[in-house]
Amino acid sequence: MHAYRSHTCAALTKAEVGQTVRLSGWVHRIRDHGGVLFIDLRDHYGITQVLCDPDSPVFHDVEKVRSEWCIRIDGTVKARDEALVNPKIPTGEIEVFIRDMEVLGSAEELPLMVFGDQEYPEETRLRYRFLDLRRQGLHDNIMLRSRVVQDLRRRMWDQGFTEFQTPIITASSPEGARDFLVPSRLHPGKFYALPQAPQLFKQLIMVSGFDRYFQIAPCFRDEDPRADRSPTDFYQLDMEMSFATQDDVFAAIQPAIQGCFEAFGGGRTVDTVWPHIRYADAMKWYGTDKPDLRCPIKMQDVSDHFRGSGFAIFAKLLEQEGTEIRAIPAKGGGSRKFCDRMNAFAQKEGLPGMGYIFWRDGEDGLEAAGPLAKNIGPERTEAIRQQLHLGKGDAAFFLGGKPQAFERVAGKARTTIGEELGLTETDRFAFCWIVDFPMYEKDPETGVIDFSHNPFSMPQGGLEALNGDPLQVLGYQYDLACNGYELISGAIRNHRLDVMFKAFEIAGYSAEEVERRFSGLVNAFRFGPPPHGGCAAGIDRMVMLLADEANIREVIMFPMNQRAEDLMMGAPSEPTNEQLRELGLRVLPRE
């Protein structure tokens, strides 16, 4: 017999009744039923109930074991009584009577229990992540992640893509976040960088004559943490195509993403038609460039109804350039209690509040109520109602000013209204492509023009477009949003040096600086670069959605905490003096 097991803890059925078997695993739960000890023995595959009574030669040894001890048992498979069958587990029809036992690894007092659903502080869970990972929910999430990665790989190969690996130690590049720098021992005073993404390398792969590349790529960014973003590293499905248009990229990646969500979505509906929404429209309708289309609410511009109206706050706002009033229609939200609650929501988000109108039965039919209705009069309120297609029992909420000042809160309000009123579908994955991103943005304080997205994207209209107003230039840049999260970001690349130099010149970079900072790419583009484009899908975020988790740390095996610390391994740590001397470095104390 094998030294540790003849079967896993999920393998035994009634077919093995009467056989002598060997199992190894962890003590999941112990129950003492009047001198008969029942143990749920757990391994990676499942749970088997084993038992022991005073007739067993190792009864007194079994009495000593505790939760999470790792043990090996030899025993005889028995059928459970019909009334005691557990249909929830594959081994629920049998149990194993223990004849022999060996303790493979004892456990000290546990800082967190594996059995049960107790909540523990994040610090405890991350410090003892190896115990946390034994818990069923987290174990299932990590296994889901592994299957998702395997599935994506297969689908990309089936689409004619070839997997290549790109360097982990490279040069610094501008991807919109801080680099993790790695000091060089052989070149004192110089630094490598961990790649924020394989961006430049995958473009060079296209220039090298390979056609369809993909990679499950680790990426490293020194970022502030969020619930849907790791502060140090993450994995993405990275891909690039030669001789490809924007629509070609969409057509290539959709089968992989859609198929994966259909395979692992747990029966939830997966949209098969992914609408294309212009960035400007997404901000106008949803207040975000990653809208949750499960919520049917679309915001609308209602500025004309407030110009010269009796509501002085909005009327005066609209006299200023670049301002507007937007309405959030709320079907079923027509109660003063709900309207006041949403007004308080806006105040918590840092705005003075949200104006509102709701419609109810009045003496002469439908009546508009609320402070705004009184100020602007029945004709304007009726025009607003008709524009928004609202009726009795409905409401509308209003925000005004320069859109960039209120869009974020408006987007959150839209989502909250949809959830609270039950308008948002909860069993659906709703995808959409956000397209036509602006190439540039202006700093409102300094007036400096800079790239608003990926600087290596091809501007729509090419060189000619760059000779006009830079704030009107759109790029062949695109994101895929799903249920309020950005899953994919990509672009058709700028492969023409004349266009690239001009694009960087507008953002304040000289041709000499571009050549110095991106010498590898610039040099390659002098030797017949093909048109190419691609994208990258965040695997951690995909699994988070599939696992129905709200925090990305629930689908990463060994995540950092909110302060980018690895509590289990003690990282980051202080270097030794010898290490610093080898690298020619000195650590200065913080002021």
Q: Which has the higher per-residue pLDDT, 145 or 354? A: 145
* Dist. CA 514–CA 500, nearest whole Å: 9
Which tens digits make up the pLDDT trace of 53-71? 999 999 999 999 999 999 9
pLDDT at residue 175 is higher than 60:
no
492-522 tens-digit pLDDT = 999 999 999 999 999 999 999 999 889 999 9
Prediction pTM value: 0.93
Please give the share of the chain, as a percent, with pLDDT higher than 70.
99
Question: Can you name the residues that pair with 493 across neighbouring β-strands?
Answer: 457
The per-residue pLDDT for range 392-450, each reduced to its tens digit, is 999 999 999 999 889 999 999 999 999 999 999 999 999 999 999 999 999 888 889 99
Q: Where in the chain is the domain with CATH 3.30.1360.30?
A: 297-414
Residue 176's pLDDT is 62
pLDDT at position 376 over 80: yes
Choose the CATH number for 297-414 among 3.40.50.2020, 3.20.190.10, 2.40.128.20, 3.30.1360.30: 3.30.1360.30
Contacts of 505 (CB under 8 A, 6+ apart): 511
Distance, C-alpha 486 to centroid of its chain: 7
Q: What is the pLDDT of residues 95-151, one digit of tens each?
A: 999 999 999 999 999 999 999 989 999 999 999 999 999 999 999 999 999 999 999
Q: Tell which CATH classification among 3.30.70.980, 2.40.50.140, 3.20.20.140, 3.40.1190.20 matches the domain 14-105.
A: 2.40.50.140
| Two tokens, residue 497 | 């040096």
Residue found by looking up tokens 């540039």 in the block = 440
Every domain of the chain with CATH number 2.40.50.140 lies at: 14-105
Mean residue pLDDT across the chain: 94
Cα→Cα distances 189→129, 184, 186, 516, 590, Å: 37, 7, 9, 18, 20
456's tokens? 């290596």
Give the span between the Cα atoms of 463 and 503, in whole angstroms.
8
Q: So what's the pLDDT on residue 453?
A: 84
Whether cis (ω within 30° of 0) applies to the bond prior to 296 is: no
Q: 180 vs 168, 169, 564, CA distance in Å?
A: 11, 10, 12
pLDDT of residue 415: 95
**C-alpha to C-alpha distance for 199 and 453, rounded to whole angstroms:** 13
pLDDT at position 262 is: 98
